[in-house]
Amino acid sequence: MRSAKALRRAGHLTIVLLLAGCGTSGVNGVPALRLALGNSLTGAQGKTVEDQNRIDHTVAPGCAIGLYKPAECDRHTKASAARRAELKS
């Protein structure tokens, strides 16, 4: 009886650890990161609306996969909106 209870607990612990490990894998290595972010940023200087679009298209996936902190993503969104307003003027 006692060993069955211990085995049940060990089984539950194993399942919990497996699920935790599978849920926290994230981005693994440069190729995966490059694939996630793309190559839109190359040559963009933020001097035109098209450049700003390219910058935003590079940063957005980084925010989506959790590469950047939420505060960094918010800061980029605000800076991008301000830059777009400058470019329209």
Encode pLDDT of 16-63 as tens digits.
666 666 655 555 666 776 776 767 777 778 889 998 998 898 888 888
Closest CA to 61 of 34, 24, 80: 34
Q: What does the pLDDT read at residue 29?
A: 66
Q: Can you read off the two tokens belonging to residue 60?
A: 């957005």
Residue 77 clears pLDDT 70, i.e. is over it:
yes
Distance CA 38, CA 58 (A): 6
Q: What does the pLDDT read at residue 25?
A: 56
pTM given for the model: 0.58
Q: What does the pLDDT read at residue 76?
A: 93
Is the model more confident about 66 or about 75?
75
Residue 8 clears pLDDT 70, i.e. is over it:
yes
Q: What does the pLDDT read at residue 64?
A: 87
Question: In a 3-state reduction of DSSP, which class is residue 38?
Answer: coil
